[in-house]
Structure 1
Amino acid sequence: MSDWSSDIKQYSNVYVFDPDLKIIGRLEHLAPEEKIYSARFMGDLLYLVTFKQTDPLFVIDLSNPYQPGLLGELKIPGYSDYLHPYDDTHLIGIGKDTMENEWGGIIPTGVKIALFDVSNVNNPRLVESIVIGEKGSDSAVLSDHRAFLLDKEKNIMAIPVREVIHIPVQGSRYEGSHTKETWQGTYVFGIDPEAGFTEKGRIKQGTGTSGDEWWYGSTVLRSLFMDDVLYTISRDRIVGSDLRDLTRRLMDIGISHDDHPSYYF
């Protein structure tokens, strides 16, 4: 929970309620002037991400609901919009990397995927983080957790991405001029909890445009697998790829998307 006061612009709190919705425990003023971005409950623990300039991951003990307590925290650049448990001692965070602009403000850039080791609740640790794309990149996972796919048995994690890369214009009279290359599809990773991520492949979903046009219909919204086929599903198509070799496209079925025009940015 976030709240306002006259002395501090914003602060983050955790409240515990009983079945009658009466507050029985509280942990207040966790992160002054920071906003809560994501939370994940695992057993008696709460993992909480806030953000203003860095991404604190808080580990909170709820074993005594009357006295919740802060066990540990980790501060890294960027933030996580979604936290997903990998196992009892590891968390996956999906969000954005950040950078400081020329006026000293903080702006989001590429899609950030992070693996956290929380085996020591007093000292959570970043195992690895990967940043995909640059400013303007996005993922459906950031607003809909159902777009995220993880299967430990097959060792696959599928993340849909709308990726933007900025390319400087050589010889331009205007400083900072650039063009954009865009890509729509799915990144597929394997996970080693001790070492981090291994990219297994990328599945392109869009039929192909470049520059400033992003096809709304090609945004991957769901991924699923049956046997050894990974299906990536957008509004305009269903693509089936061989999990043993993701460069092999086994099917590509177009879906009418006349009601979903392309958008220009």
Structure 2
Amino acid sequence: MAIGAPVELWPEAERLIDALSPELVDLLDEMSGTMFCAKDVTGRYVLVNRTFVDRANRRSPRDVVGRTSAELFAPELAARYEEQDGRVLSEAWPLRNELELIRRPGGVPGWYLTTKLPVQRDGVVLGLVSTSRDLNTRDVHDQVIGSMARVVQVVEDRLGVGVTQAELAEVAGCTTGALDRRMRRIFGLTPKQFVLRARVDHATTLLTQTDLTLAEVAVRAGFYDQPSFTRTFVRLTGETPSVYRRKSRALATE
């Protein structure tokens, strides 16, 4: 990826780039429908792909790298991005599946699904990486997207206690059948699959960011017990929770 960095990278940028996989970054530059960026702990952009440059209405990565959100986006957007970044950087906690309205090239607004993850080395947060995927929902009414944003929030808020499809449908203001169709259209997942993925995502964060026992992780991620958690985790990730934790911590100290 042509990151467009100045000749002399600042120290925070060097540490963040050193922690990222060059192959992964190069791959993200090929994803025309997905914005990618990496920010250091000061909030400055270190890496961006071509799609991000286009959405920021800039000519090249060199016009973005080293700048902050406030220098590139409208004040209301920049404030939201900085609030999200602050949480990810200060708490080392991921932000997943955030529905956002972002302007496409030409000024046409479109809905994107944003995920932001902290980048750490030896337990120290070096920055964050972020992707925003264009949902291509030009034929979907904004009220439908808004209802899905509420559903995502309820799922996140109730990971430890569980939520039924009927309850999610009530939140979305539709029938369970309509909810299923909407979530398949926007997320490519059924409501059950979406909730399960959210639980496993939360479990991976707890495994890497806390010293909770596997039984405690299972409960906090909304699983009935540790055996059911382990079975589901292995089925979706190919590894047991304990192996995942050990490998993740080993990678973080390399």
- What TM-score, normalized to structure 2? 0.31
Whose helix proportion is higher, 1 or 2?
2
> In proportion to residue count, which structure has more strand?
1
Q: Which of 1 and 2 has higher RCO (CA within 8 Å, sep 6+)?
A: 2
Bigger Rg, which one: 1
User: TM-score scaled to structure 1, two decimals?
Assistant: 0.30
